[in-house]
């Protein structure tokens, strides 16, 4: 019978530790794997950083667009207010110019509108027995001459009466017949135009919300 082999703890464990400590791959392969790991880590970090940067850019762009939108809304409102004021000023200027022009035309041809209005009456009131035309004192002679000739030209068969009225402005007149009458009063017309313009501007401001 063979003698039992003596188990040597130090020898056996030392050999096992030595085998465990031996490298499983070559050193060059190990360095290549480390370099690859570093590259992958850098690439992952770059992608993550790029994603964060893009997210930050998107947030900043959204904020900028929001601010731009608010500023555009404010600019549109300001332009609407300016447009409303310019429109009101343009209307005021147009009315003032029209009044000035009308005054100049009346001063140059004070009988012009009176003659036109009386001619319309001759055309539409052929059956009335008489027609009374009242004008300013300064126009009595001219009115008598021109309107009498106009009545003959238009075939007016009624009686034409022309009277002086100091309270009537030069260029205005009042025409009366048996069933009615009409008056040309430039001051009243101007007042009505101004009132209509005021209502229009007020309604325009109410629509746009501009009360400045």
Average pLDDT over residues 23-42: 67
Whole-model pTM above 0.75? no
- 113 and 84 share one domain: no
Q: Which residues pair with 134 in a beta bridge?
A: 163, 174
Q: Bridge-partner residues for 12, per DSSP?
A: none
**Domain hosting residue 74, numbered range:** 26-108
Tell me if 149 is assigned to some domain.
yes
89, 108, 127 — which closes off a domain?
108
Q: Is the pLDDT of residue 204 over 60?
A: yes
Model confidence at 108: pLDDT above 90? no
pLDDT, tens only, 137-176: 999 999 999 999 999 999 998 999 999 999 999 999 999 9
Quick check: helix, strand or coil at residue 59? helix
The label of the residue with tokens 């309107």 reads 147
93 with 113, same domain: the answer is: no
DSSP 3-state of 1: coil
């Amino acid at each position: 019978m063979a003698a039992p082999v003596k188990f040597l703890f130090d020898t056996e464990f030392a050999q096992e530790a030595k085998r465990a400590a031996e490298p499983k791959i070559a050193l060059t392969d190990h360095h290549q794997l480390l370099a690859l790991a570093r590259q992958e880590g850098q690439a992952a970090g770059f992608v993550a950083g790029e994603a964060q940067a893009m997210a930050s850019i998107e947030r900043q762009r959204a904020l900028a667009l929001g601010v731009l939108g608010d500023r555009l809304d404010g600019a549109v409102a300001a332009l609407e207010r300016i447009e409303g004021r310019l429109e009101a000023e343009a209307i005021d200027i147009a009315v003032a110019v029209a009044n000035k022009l009308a005054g100049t035309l009346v001063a140059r041809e004070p009988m012009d509108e009176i003659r036109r209005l009386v001619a319309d009456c001759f055309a539409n009131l052929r059956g009335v027995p008489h027609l009374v035309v009242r004008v300013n004192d300064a126009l009595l002679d001219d009115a008598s001459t021109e309107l009498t000739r106009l009545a003959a030209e238009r075939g007016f068969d009624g009686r034409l009466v022309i009277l002086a009225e100091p309270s009537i402005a030069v260029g205005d007149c009042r025409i009366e017949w048996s069933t009615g009458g009409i008056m040309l009063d430039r001051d009243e017309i101007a007042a009505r135009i101004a009132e209509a313009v005021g209502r229009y501007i007020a309604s325009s401001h109410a629509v746009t919300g501009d009360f400045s």
